Structure 1
Amino acid sequence: MRVLTRSPEYEKEPVIMETINAIQFAGYAYDANLHYCDGTPLPMNKMSLARLSTDSPSEPPLPSPYLVQLQRSFANALKQFSVEEECAQPWPERQAPKFWNRSWLLFFRRLWHFVLRCFRTWKYRRMLPPCDQIYVNQIYESSSVGLIAKRDKGNETAALALLEAEAPDVPAPLLIDTFEDGDGNSIAAMTQVPGVQAISVLYRMTYQERRQFADDLGAAIAQIRQISNMSKPLFTGISKIRSQGSKIHDPCVGYEACGPFENEWDWNMFMTGGRPEFWRSSHPEAFLSEHESKFTHADLHLNNNLVDAGKLSGIIDWEISGFYPEYWEFAKGMHAGLNSRSSRPIHRQIWQGKYEAKGNWWRLSCLFFRGGLRALKSEGRRVRAQNTKGQKTPTRK
């Protein structure tokens, strides 16, 4: 059985449709009226995988992938027409004025916490949708407030509590409560932030609106970078007890939770797979100076920035935030995430070349993000295994 999963020009063997049992391709819907053959609606503004299959590829064969590519070209052309029509329309009415302000939300939370925890947990579980693998779900929605239930490992709840105490003006969700679902998973209940994902409306934002969006995002970043690291480790996740460090959950640092790191030498040793001397020889400018520890969102791609009527309205998904090297927000915004290419102009405006001038460290980070990290970590494990057999561990110079 042969399945075609990519364009014919990338196939090693000639594509003969009479021998193809299935075609798998990705689709992106810009129209809410599109449906699958069984009537299921195609999700809007979301990548979806589609699969066409047949038991007898010769009678008749599946449509040629070249026809699918041709249809894609026509669809993109039609999309441009719809974009021009949409951009000519004014922004929808702002949602933010309809939502409760922060004072009302804090008052509601205070009253709600007078209720016994056992009853609150029972109520939350009743509100959860009937699914086995919950990650993010909206458990309450109205015209003035919404509640989100999200599986949590402790880092995001601690981060939201820290933001509430130290940077209340940052447009982040407000933590309402924590509880365990029926399977013992820790769940965080937080407020819904008004707006839509920035990536879904970036195409219709004017250059002036984009500049203002970058300024507002930069102001929020400046606020969170003022939060002090009160723990002993220099680079760490967020702990409920501020004097203690915790593991880092950023997948660009490690495939599993790792750290915390006491100093930048330990961080560099880990990030270079135990071979900082190799990177120092090829990128000496990256190791010329030490970097401060700054509170970092670490995932500021355009899916995690919300826009309401063309303006920044919220920053969500703080689960991998922590205290990272001061360049990390820039490096992640430029070279990691689902839409780093679209977010680069925004981050360049925010940072004004600050870390590009400090030795192009982001180029080194880019190597980690785009495949080098796996090889480096593998090499690092090999080096550490040799060290445990009696070889001398590299010392800090």
Structure 2
Amino acid sequence: MYCKFGGLINKDEVLATMFVQANTTIPVPTILDVIGESDEELFVLMSRVPGDPVHGVLNRMDAPSLALFESDLRDWLFQLRSLVPLPSTVVGGFLGTPSMQFRIAAWCPIGPYSTKEDLHEDLLRRTEDRSAVESVVKKSHGKPHMLCFTHGDLRHQNLLMQNGRLSGLVDWGSSGWFPEYWDYTGACYANKKYYPRWIEVFSRIFPQYRDELEVDRALWMQINPY
């Protein structure tokens, strides 16, 4: 079992984890007990999901193993995207609340936003030189993206593998309702140099969002460069 407490978990993460478990076949932690009322004093006990983080094996996979990993991941992501959005256009956390998005602001929640356009405008406001990216963002921000349920923090540490298969997806603290490209561009955040195979897999799953990735990378260089 694991526990999260001390401001490292909130009600959104608890309910989002339960929502995914109830509506998909994705293996996630089972919430066993929740103590406390405010987010600051929550103590959450959950089951351990078997497996080890994928970053330890991804670059060593042979072609058949990589194809199986990609197939499992594709299925999970499309299950998330098939979840019916809440009857709202609000962009943000699971309950229409502020959401922790580390690619935008480290340890400072963003949103919620009334519309996708409000999210995009906030991203532009955060840039150091808005004029440097305004011409680029038109490639993406003008498209009619639908809202999807997203994990929001697809990193190697949060995807687990056991016996050659994906075995779990953990840490739903950044999940919520965001534009359909959000999980793809987030998965590519700052990983191209160190994990090219990771980028290749996600790009095969989501080939339609190349413009969106170009735009988000331009924004990241202005908002949160490293």
1:280/1:372 CA distance change after superposition, 3 Å: closer
1:274/1:213 CA distance change after superposition, 3 Å: closer
CA distance in 1, matches of 2:165, 2:28: 15
Matches within 5 A, 1:189-268: 189-239=45-95, 245-255=96-106, 256-268=108-120
* Equivalent residue number for residue 135 of structure 1: none
**Structure 2 counterpart SS, 1:294:** strand
Once the 2 structures are TM-superposed, how far is the Cα of residue 300 of structure 1 from its aligned partner? 1.3
* Equivalent residue number for residue 54 of structure 1: none
Amino acid at match of 1:373: I
The answer as to 2:188 corresponding to 1:372 is no
Once the 2 structures are TM-superposed, how far is the Cα of residue 336 of structure 1 from its aligned partner? 4.0
* Equivalent residue number for residue 161 of structure 1: 18
CA distance in 1, matches of 2:22, 2:46: 16
1:337/1:344 CA distance change after superposition, 3 Å: closer
Amino acid at match of 2:219: F
Matches within 5 A, 1:176-187: 176-180=32-36, 185-187=41-43
Matches within 5 A, 1:1-397: 147-151=1-5, 152-167=9-24, 169-180=25-36, 185-239=41-95, 245-255=96-106, 256-273=108-125, 279-336=133-190, 340-351=195-206, 353-356=207-210, 360-369=211-220, 371-374=221-224
CA distance in 1, matches of 2:29, 2:18: 10
**Structure 2 counterpart SS, 1:324:** strand
Amino acid at match of 2:168: G
Once the 2 structures are TM-superposed, how far is the Cα of residue 283 of structure 1 from its aligned partner? 4.0
1:206/1:282 CA distance change after superposition, 3 Å: closer
Is the 1:333–1:340 contact (alpha carbons within 8 Å) kept by the matching residues of 2?
no
The C-alpha deviation readout for 1:254-277, integer Å capped at 9, x for no partner, is 341121111122111101117877
Once the 2 structures are TM-superposed, how far is the Cα of residue 281 of structure 1 from its aligned partner? 2.4
**Structure 2 counterpart SS, 1:303:** helix
Deviating above 3 A after TM superposition, structure 1's stretches of 4 or more consecutive aligned residues are 274-280, 336-342
Is the 1:280–1:287 contact (alpha carbons within 8 Å) kept by the matching residues of 2?
no
TM-score by structure 2 length? 0.85
TM-score by structure 1 length? 0.50
**Structure 2 counterpart SS, 1:230:** coil
Is the 1:300–1:332 contact (alpha carbons within 8 Å) kept by the matching residues of 2?
yes
1:193/1:224 CA distance change after superposition, 3 Å: same
Say which one has the larger Rg: 1
The C-alpha deviation readout for 1:116-157, integer Å capped at 9, x for no partner, is xxxxxxxxxxxxxxxxxxxxxxxxxxxxxxx11113122210
1:285/1:267 CA distance change after superposition, 3 Å: same
Once the 2 structures are TM-superposed, how far is the Cα of residue 252 of structure 1 from its aligned partner? 1.9
Is the 1:301–1:343 contact (alpha carbons within 8 Å) kept by the matching residues of 2?
no
Count of aligned pairs: 215
Once the 2 structures are TM-superposed, how far is the Cα of residue 165 of structure 1 from its aligned partner? 2.5
The C-alpha deviation readout for 1:55-86, integer Å capped at 9, x for no partner, is xxxxxxxxxxxxxxxxxxxxxxxxxxxxxxxx
CA distance in 2, matches of 1:326, 1:234: 14
Amino acid at match of 2:10: K
1:282/1:226 CA distance change after superposition, 3 Å: closer
Identity, % of aligned pairs?
Answer: 23
CA distance in 1, matches of 2:195, 2:155: 6
Between 1 and 2, higher relative CO (CA 8 Å, sep ≥ 6) is seen in: 2
Structure 1: runs of 5+ lacking an equivalent: 1-146, 240-244, 376-397
Structure 2: runs of 5+ lacking an equivalent: none
CA RMSD of aligned residues (A): 2.3
1:252/1:366 CA distance change after superposition, 3 Å: same
Once the 2 structures are TM-superposed, how far is the Cα of residue 325 of structure 1 from its aligned partner? 0.8
Once the 2 structures are TM-superposed, how far is the Cα of residue 334 of structure 1 from its aligned partner? 1.5
CA distance in 1, matches of 2:21, 2:10: 19
**Structure 2 counterpart SS, 1:250:** coil
